[in-house]
Amino acid sequence: MSIMETYFEDVAALLDRSLAAGEVYLVKLDAERSDFVRLNRGKIRQPGSVTQCYLGLRLIRGQRHAEQALSVSGDFARDREDILAGLGTLRTVLDDAPDDPHLAYATDVRSSRDVRSSSLAASEEVITTVLDAARDVDLVGIYASGPVYRGFANSLGQRNWHEVSSFNLQWSLYQRTDKAVKTSYGGFDWSAESFSARMDEARSRLALLALPARTLEPGRYRAYLTPPAMEELAGMLCWGGFSGRALSTRQSCLFRMQDGTESLNASISFSENVAEGIAPAFQDEGYARPGQVPLIAGGGLVGSLVSPRTAREFDLSTNGANASETPEALDMGAGELAVADALAALDTGILVGNLWYLNFSDRSACRVTGMTRFASFWVEKGAIVAPVNVMRFDDSVYRLLGENLVALTAERELIVSSDSYRERSVGSMRLPGAVLREMAFTL
Amino acid sequence: MSRTRLARDNRPFSIRAMTDLSRTDFPHLRADADFWSLRVVDEAAHNFAVRKNVPQPAAALRDRGAMLTAWAYGGCGYAATSDLSRAGLQAALDRAAHWAQASACASLIDFRTLPQPAPRGDYASPDVDAASWSRRDWYELLAQESRETGCDDRIVDWEASVETRTATHTYLTSAGGDVTQRYRFVMPSISATAHAAGDTQTRSLNGYRGLAQQGGEDMLTRFGFAGSGRRIAEEALRLLGAPNCPTGVMDVLLMPDQMVLQIHESIGHPLELDRILGDERNFAGTSFVTLDMFGNYRYGSDLLNITFDPTLPEELASYAFDDDGMRAEKQYLIRNGILRRPLGGALSQARAGMRGVANARADNWNRPPIDRMANLNLEPGENSIAEMIAGIEHGLLMRTNSSWSIDDSRNKFQFGCEWGELIENGEVRGVVKNPNYRGVSASFWRNLKAVGDKSTVQVLGTPYCGKGEPSQVIRVGHASPACVFTGVDVFGGDS
């Protein structure tokens, strides 16, 4: 048991002892010990470490409840006073709080423990390896590593613990101006050989970027979206698209699928696949999350992510979604096209290595705009001809993954989120690539 | 509505101020380093919301932590910790010094060549010590707005909410620096979503958290918050019945709550010096602006005057010193359309060999400072709204940003708004939905045809500007008048 897990047990025990009659508590822990090493021009730009621990304490009395989040040191003796002060504050808040008709929390005790320990290499050693491999190229990127902890406990005796030690190296090799190859290598055990193989692949694509770039006229082109490009498109669907609340209030970009007036290609399927991701299998109100939640099957909407609060408001059944109702382990079904045959299937068109900065241009119509980025190429008769200068697309997902979908690749890529706003993400996606008959480029 | 006043020190935790603790402990810290600093952030936030007439549970945050930074042998390292004991701070300083030493031989920057910051001073938001509203006061106001907003069966979702936040940032350095900056923020929001016949339209009060200022609750009066719910709902309903925005090249009149986004994305980010120096190329992107452009490049028409201005008391990112200890002063970045100065703090200025502004900022104690926008403003011109509308033969008025997308060099953009109104022959003719426009930063600002006067200015901002590896989301302020641009590529949606 790690020091952090012991700490969380002590916090829960303190709350158990401190609770008054008629009170229920829920508490969650989000903590990490991370190294972040930022690189630019093949040098170290900003190296550092972050140790952080947050508790989210919720006190419930009848139908009243309130929340207090607080940063803590991780030393129980030192934090004890602050935790009790937080509990005292919540009691004061509840005195004049109204009843909440949508309050919901797990009452079936379902404890769990998932510890994925690994032997992470020292960050200093990894960085030495990376910089040695980048002596003759313009490398920019970030290395993040260390353990991430998630915990839940309540006064009913439930205890959940999730602990993952991982690393994530994201780097770009620049040929010139905005012409670059972006590569990621994430996992649990660093392998110099695996890194070297990825670096070699990046170097080979970097050589193609040395070709004179082609500027395309706006128009409709065939396209091959690689899995990293598909991650951006799928990310738009995750922006409320699968949310039970957004669907119920007609704010989801997929509400027309719910109405039956729109659909995707019959080969399209999505599910929330916590069983094979790295996110915890429990959520903030203590509900267990099913291993799989089908969302789209056969091109139709078959499910949604429903938080306990949404379930209470709209008379639905919760499936353990967090309050944001956003997938944390989105899994898109594979097709039958071998990746090795993807360019041949594209024939003539754009190989989109990455997409960037997507947003809705008409959310009700699921119409999305965004940019190509990094290693994107013009392809003729299945062969790369030239890098393309960045292009803006503006098209409906219903068209892109509907009538204009030619094929999905058989191989899929597990993309571990590199998101580090406030804390390191435990999200991931598993996605295929896609050949499209037509994609509308506008600028 | 009368308001119950509470003392400012009615905080959930009866502990000694972190400023005092860190001042006591800092002189006792030791490091094998040429220079070290301690930055302590102590923030408290309260969130209140009423959604569909149901009060949401009160949520509060108390967030305290420290960032230790060390320079040694030419390298620089940092370590952040939420353990604020002297032992915790010393452990973090040891780790920071270790990183400085370990990275020295491969450091992009030789920190031995930089002056060691020793700033001294303080800053306080307006009304930082004044009494604040109680929870009950907030819920009463938000409930009233919620009731007014949910006025029609076609309004399918609505919410009135606020986030209030106080913060104390302390910066101490081994060279004698000692800065304390105390902040108070109020960020209210109202939104309404209408749905009918297969279409959904959302209207909000200047966008989600677009109303965001320093100071106290008097900002609610400045923005007419009370009573806005009904208008927001009625506008959402009007959008449901409106035609789609037409397609064509025309003049656009951008109101301040769209101008802030236009300034932010296509002037602010491209002028960030760390982007120009390549730090962000793996994530947020690079810039079409290069170092040789400063001093001579025509960014916009003669009417374009852009300032970095940390001196407007109510603006969201006003301060006296940035997080590397540089004193903040108002500077013109673009004057009469010519590019003058980048958004770069002391470190970037040394790397680039040019003068910038005090904008090295971190979003919290657990992230290091990088070049950020702070308050980036477009200075007012001489035209009233009526004059600008009268000067448009065929065009579109657009309000409240709803969609934003721009390339990684911050050049090709496409933005959308919640609300559009056609202008024909100098008169407003009717509402259109799904208004979008696209353009290229490098040419768009040269088509700036008219700049509104002071009566059209709004001081807005956002608490959600994202950037950096590891990533940071930070508060930025933008004050802008309404502006007219010519020859803009405008279009609508599919719905």
Question: Looking at CA atoms only, how far is residue A337 from chain B in angstroms?
Answer: 30
CB contacts < 8 A, A to B, total 269
Q: Contact A140/B282, CB-based, under 8 Å? A: yes
Instruction: For residue A256, list chain B residues with Cβ-Cβ distance below 8 A.
Output: 198
Question: Looking at CA atoms only, how far is residue A138 from chain B in angstroms?
Answer: 10
* Residue among A32, A41, A50 with most chain B CBs within 10 A, to mutate: A50
User: Which of A140, A367, A424 has the CB atom closest to B278's CB atom?
Assistant: A140
Cα–Cα dist A385/A373, whole Å: 17
The residue of chain A with its CA nearest to that of B369 is A46
* Residue among A357, A360, A366, A425 with most chain B CBs within 10 A, to mutate: A357
Q: What is the pLDDT of residue B107?
A: 98
Higher pLDDT, B408 or B23: B408
The yes-or-no verdict on residue A166 having pLDDT over 80 is: yes
Cα–Cα dist A397/A370, whole Å: 12
Q: Contact B403/A360, CB-based, under 8 Å? A: yes
Question: Looking at CA atoms only, how far is residue B58 from chain A in angstroms?
Answer: 5
**Residue pair B275/B267 in contact by the 8 Å Cβ criterion:** no
Question: Looking at CA atoms only, how far is residue A51 from chain B in angstroms?
Answer: 5
Whether residue A305 lies inside any domain: the answer is: no
Cα–Cα dist A343/A301, whole Å: 30
Closest CA to A321 of A333, A339, A303, A337: A303
Residues A109 and A248 in one domain: no
Instruction: For residue B59, list chain A residues with Cβ-Cβ distance below 8 A.
Output: 66-69
Instruction: For residue B367, list chain A residues with Cβ-Cβ distance below 8 A.
Output: 50
Question: Looking at CA atoms only, how far is residue B289 from chain A in angstroms?
Answer: 11
User: Which of A38, A93, A251 has the CB atom closest to B157's CB atom?
Assistant: A251
User: How many domains does one find in chain A?
Assistant: 2
**Interface list for A 271-330 with B (CB within 8 A):** none
Rounded average pLDDT over A18-22: 97
Residues A233 and A112 in one domain: no
Computed over every residue of chain A, the mean pLDDT equals: 97
Q: Confidence band (pLDDT; 50, 70, 90) for B23?
A: confident
The yes-or-no verdict on residue B55 having pLDDT over 70 is: yes
Number of residues assigned to chain B: 495
Cα–Cα dist B289/B139, whole Å: 47
3-class DSSP assignment, residue B426: coil
Q: Contact A71/B62, CB-based, under 8 Å? A: yes
Assess A370–B contact: CB distance below 8 Å, yes or no. yes
Question: Looking at CA atoms only, how far is residue A26 from chain B in angstroms?
Answer: 14
Cα–Cα dist A247/A239, whole Å: 12
Assess A353–B contact: CB distance below 8 Å, yes or no. no
Residues A38 and A180 in one domain: yes
- The 10s digit of each residue's pLDDT in A32-73 is 999 999 999 999 999 999 999 999 999 999 999 999 999 999
Instruction: For residue B63, list chain A residues with Cβ-Cβ distance below 8 A.
Output: 54, 69-71
Whether residue A287 lies inside any domain: the answer is: no
Q: Contact A49/B95, CB-based, under 8 Å? A: yes
Residues A33 and A56 in one domain: yes
Q: What is the Cα A40 distance to its own chain's centre?
A: 25
What are the phi and psi torsion angles at B343 (to 5°)?
Answer: -90, 85
**A406 is written with which tokens?**
């030619």
Higher pLDDT, B384 or B24: B384
The residue of chain A with its CA nearest to that of B472 is A421
Assess A365–B contact: CB distance below 8 Å, yes or no. yes
Look up the CATH number of the domain holding residue A98: 3.30.2290.10
Closest CA to B60 of A367, A55, A110: A55
Residues A43 and A170 in one domain: yes
Cα–Cα dist A90/A357, whole Å: 40
Q: Confidence band (pLDDT; 50, 70, 90) for B254?
A: very high
Instruction: For residue A93, list chain B residues with Cβ-Cβ distance below 8 A.
Output: 58, 60, 135
Assess A118–B contact: CB distance below 8 Å, yes or no. no
Rounded average pLDDT over A3-28: 98
Assess A417–B contact: CB distance below 8 Å, yes or no. no
User: Which of B55, B157, B412 has the CB atom closest to A392's CB atom?
Assistant: B412
Whether residue A306 lies inside any domain: the answer is: no
Q: Contact B493/A364, CB-based, under 8 Å? A: yes
Assess A239–B contact: CB distance below 8 Å, yes or no. no
How many CA within 13 A on the CB side of residue B434? 24
- The 10s digit of each residue's pLDDT in A133-153 is 999 999 999 999 999 999 999
Cα–Cα dist B402/B392, whole Å: 24
Q: Confidence band (pLDDT; 50, 70, 90) for B16?
A: very low
Rounded average pLDDT over A366-387: 97
Instruction: For residue B408, list chain A residues with Cβ-Cβ distance below 8 A.
Output: 178, 356-357, 371, 373, 390
Q: Confidence band (pLDDT; 50, 70, 90) for B1?
A: very low
User: Which of A47, A182, A364 has the CB atom closest to B77's CB atom?
Assistant: A47
The yes-or-no verdict on residue B261 having pLDDT over 90 is: yes
Question: Looking at CA atoms only, how far is residue B80 from chain A in angstroms?
Answer: 5
Q: What is the pLDDT of residue B7?
A: 34
Residues A235 and A98 in one domain: no
Assess A93–B contact: CB distance below 8 Å, yes or no. yes
Q: Contact B84/A73, CB-based, under 8 Å? A: yes
Whether residue A369 lies inside any domain: the answer is: yes
The yes-or-no verdict on residue B4 having pLDDT over 90 is: no
- The 10s digit of each residue's pLDDT in B125-163 is 999 999 999 999 999 999 999 999 999 999 999 999 999
Q: Confidence band (pLDDT; 50, 70, 90) for B22?
A: confident
Whether residue A293 lies inside any domain: the answer is: no
The yes-or-no verdict on residue A159 having pLDDT over 70 is: yes
Closest CA to B31 of B66, B72, B65: B72
* Residue among B48, B68, B83 with most chain A CBs within 10 A, to mutate: B83
What are the phi and psi torsion angles at A338 (to 5°)?
Answer: -70, 140
Whether residue A288 lies inside any domain: the answer is: no
How far from A212 is each of A175, A202, B289, CA to CA, in Å?
A: 11, 18, 21
With 0-12 / 13-18 / 19 or more C-beta atoms within 10 angstroms meaning exposed / middle / buried, residue A345 is middle
Question: Looking at CA atoms only, how far is residue A148 from chain B in angstroms?
Answer: 15
Q: Confidence band (pLDDT; 50, 70, 90) for A378?
A: very high
The pTM of this model reads 0.96
Q: What is the pLDDT of residue A325?
A: 98
Q: What is the pLDDT of residue B17?
A: 59
Residues A94 and A232 in one domain: no
Instruction: For residue A259, list chain B residues with Cβ-Cβ distance below 8 A.
Output: 198
State yes or no: cis peptide before B313, omega within 30 of 0. Answer: no
The residue of chain B with its CA nearest to that of A36 is B470
The yes-or-no verdict on residue B116 having pLDDT over 60 is: yes
**Residue pair A421/B472 in contact by the 8 Å Cβ criterion:** yes
Q: Which residues contact B366 (CB under 8 A, 6 or more apart)?
A: A50, A52, B65, B67, B80, B82
The yes-or-no verdict on residue B319 having pLDDT over 50 is: yes
Rounded average pLDDT over B185-211: 96
A153 strand-pairing partners: A27, A159
**Interface list for A 166-185 with B (CB within 8 A):** 170-172, 174, 177-178, 180, 182
Tell me what ipTM this predicted complex has: 0.96
Instruction: For residue A427, list chain B residues with Cβ-Cβ distance below 8 A.
Output: none
The yes-or-no verdict on residue B14 having pLDDT over 50 is: no
Residues A89 and A196 in one domain: yes
Q: Confidence band (pLDDT; 50, 70, 90) for B19?
A: low
Question: Looking at CA atoms only, how far is residue B384 from chain A in angstroms?
Answer: 30
- The 10s digit of each residue's pLDDT in A284-301 is 999 999 999 999 999 999
Q: Confidence band (pLDDT; 50, 70, 90) for B12?
A: very low
Residues A395 and A422 in one domain: yes
Residues A191 and A246 in one domain: no
Percent of chain B with pLDDT over 90: 94
Q: What is the pLDDT of residue A117?
A: 78
The yes-or-no verdict on residue B486 having pLDDT over 70 is: yes
Q: What is the pLDDT of residue B18?
A: 63
**Residue pair A161/A5 in contact by the 8 Å Cβ criterion:** yes
Cα–Cα dist B26/B84, whole Å: 11
The yes-or-no verdict on residue B11 having pLDDT over 70 is: no
Whether residue A51 lies inside any domain: the answer is: yes
Residues A71 and A193 in one domain: yes
Number of residues assigned to chain A: 443
User: Which of A40, A101, A442 has the CB atom closest to B438's CB atom?
Assistant: A442
What are the phi and psi torsion angles at B232 (to 5°)?
Answer: -60, -45
The yes-or-no verdict on residue B10 having pLDDT over 90 is: no
Residues A141 and A225 in one domain: no
Q: Contact B470/A371, CB-based, under 8 Å? A: no
Instruction: Give me the amino acid identity at B303.
Output: L
Instruction: Go through the domains of chain B in sequence order and give each one's CATH number.
Output: 5-240 (3.30.2290.10), 248-491 (no CATH)
Whether residue A249 lies inside any domain: the answer is: yes
* Residue among A26, A45, A309 with most chain B CBs within 10 A, to mutate: A45
What are the phi and psi torsion angles at A418 (to 5°)?
Answer: -100, 10
Q: Contact A362/B493, CB-based, under 8 Å? A: yes
Assess A376–B contact: CB distance below 8 Å, yes or no. no
Tell me the longest C-alpha to C-alpha distance in chain A. Answer: 74
User: Which of B13, B58, B494 has the CB atom closest to A367's CB atom?
Assistant: B494
What range defines the domain where residue A142 resides?
Answer: 3-209
Instruction: For residue B12, list chain A residues with Cβ-Cβ distance below 8 A.
Output: 68, 85-86, 88-89
Q: Contact B106/A261, CB-based, under 8 Å? A: no
